[in-house]
Amino acid sequence: MKRILNLEGAINLRELGGYPTEDGTTIKYNKLLRSGDIINLTRNSLSYLKKYGLRYVVDFRSNQEQQTWADTTSDFYKIYSDPVYPLKGNGDKLAGIINQGDYSYLGMIYQSVVLDAHGQLAYKILFDLLLDNDKPEQSLLFHCAAGKDRTGIGALLILKALGVDDETITKDYLLTNLMYEDDTTIENTLNDKDGNQDINRMNMTKGDLQSITSVFKAIDHYYGNFDNYLDKALGIDKTKLAKLKSIYTE
């Protein structure tokens, strides 16, 4: 099954099924999709996604982005507004401590997001919806604008929770760079001259290994391990984690 879904009007739309976990299971196909915005999906693309089983769409974009570029709506899925930004700001301070002066732009942003109270709330909502998506042959899509940063962090958290190893998670994140080898794609479609310039800058910055691996380090530094982070920051205790694995792995 293809990992990259080249549907008409889709941006960076990818299947997360098929990845192996450290428990010896595999992530189910037709359950999880990550994407850039879905504002230009065509009738053919919607027909494909209906057959795919799409029921939940989680939109990480800011309220302004959602109003300026509204998602394509349909009768077979529900859109959940779940803005990652604006952050409260407490994550910036914590990320600064872990970096100790070694500042990588994306790394700092990513660490701030996973450590920030509002960022954590946004991903807690994502995980609550993941738990709701427990019917067979039904799937959930989560997205931002480019499908790289806010979506990349979402994918990292989901894959890590399901037991995928860090190297595989990193490779999945870096796949975005293949989707955006031509920078004009982002320049022409995703930058809002009147919008949040931090988001614009993120969209124009290619993903790199150091930035994504720094997220693992920040979580371990402040929470001891990832399971503690799931429990304390996202409300996913052992019982919910077992349910999550039963829904998305086989």
Which stretches of the chain score pLDDT less than 70?
1, 101-103, 178-207
* pLDDT value, residue 101: 62
Angstrom CA distances, 132 to 36, 38, 116, 248, stand at 22, 22, 24, 12
* pLDDT value, residue 203: 44
Residue type, 49: L
Angle between helix axes 150-161 and 105-115 (nearest 10 degrees) is 60
131 neighbors 247 (Cβ within 8 angstroms): yes
* pLDDT value, residue 4: 86
* pLDDT value, residue 194: 53
* pLDDT value, residue 74: 97
249 neighbors 26 (Cβ within 8 angstroms): yes
